[in-house]
Amino acid sequence: MPSYQEYLDALGQRESGKDYQAVNQYGFLGKYQMGEAALIDAGYYQKDGTKINDFSGAWTGKNGINSKEDFLNNPQAQEDAIRSYNQRQWQTIRANDLDLYVGLTIGGVEITESGLLAGAHLLGVGNLKRFLESNGQFVPKDGNNVPITDYIKRFNGYDISLNIPDPNSPNSESQDAVLIAPNGSIEEAITILDASGKIVSVDTTITQLNGSSIEDLVAFAANHAILNEQIIETPVNGFVRATVSGQGANVNLNNAQITVQPGTQANINGDGSYILGLPNSTVQTTTFPTTLVTSMTNSTLVATTGMQLTNLGSNNNLVLGPNTTLSNLGNNNTIIGPVPPNTTDSGIGNTSIESENLPLGTTVALSSSMGFSASIDEDDVVHVSAGGE
- What's the pLDDT tens digit per position in 61-89? 999 999 999 999 999 999 999 998 998 88
* Residues 19 and 74 grouped into a single domain: yes
Which range, 56-65, 212-221, 276-285, has the best average confidence (pLDDT)? 56-65
Q: Which of 93, 124, 154 is the last residue of a domain?
A: 154
Q: Does residue 366 lie within any of the structural domains?
A: no
Q: Are 278 and 264 in contact (CB under 8 A)?
A: yes
**64 shares a domain with 33:** yes
The total of structural domains in the chain comes to 2
Indicate whether 75 and 210 sit together in one domain: no
CA 381 and chain centroid, separation: 44
Structure confidence at residue 287 (pLDDT): 42
Q: Which domain does 67 fall in, by range?
A: 4-154
Question: What is the distance between the alpha carbons of residues 171 and 153, in angstroms, rounded to a whole number?
Answer: 32
Tell me, yes or no, whether 150 and 231 share the same domain.
no
Residues 148 and 115 reside in one and the same domain: yes
User: Pairing relation of β-strands 300-303 and 317-319?
Assistant: parallel
The answer to the question of residue 107 being in a domain is: yes
Give the CATH number of the domain where residue 143 resides.
1.10.530
Using DSSP, state whether 239 is helix, strand or coil. Answer: coil
171-223 tens-digit pLDDT: 344 445 555 555 566 767 777 766 555 677 888 888 777 778 888 888 888 77
b/e code 336-368 from CB counts within 10 Å (16+ = b): bebbbeebebeebbebebbbeeeeeeeeeebbe
The pLDDT assigned to 363 comes to 39
Domain boundary pick from 219, 239, 259: 239
Residues 14 and 144 in one domain: yes
Is residue 99 in some structural domain? yes
One-letter amino acid of 206: I
Same domain, 118 and 177: no
Helix or strand holding residue 78 (H, E):
helix 75-95
Per-residue pLDDT tens digits for 103-137:
999 999 999 999 999 999 999 999 999 999 999 99
Choose the final residue of a domain: 130, 154, 178: 154
Under 8 Å CB-to-CB from 84, ≥6 apart: which residues?
41, 42, 43
Residue 315 domain-assigned (yes or no): no
How far is C-alpha 31 from the chain's CA centre? 29
- Average pLDDT in the chain: 75
* Domain match, 148 and 208 both: no
Distance CA(135)–CA(139), nearest Å, equals 10
Do 205 and 94 reside in the same domain of the chain? no
pTM above 0.75, yes or no: no
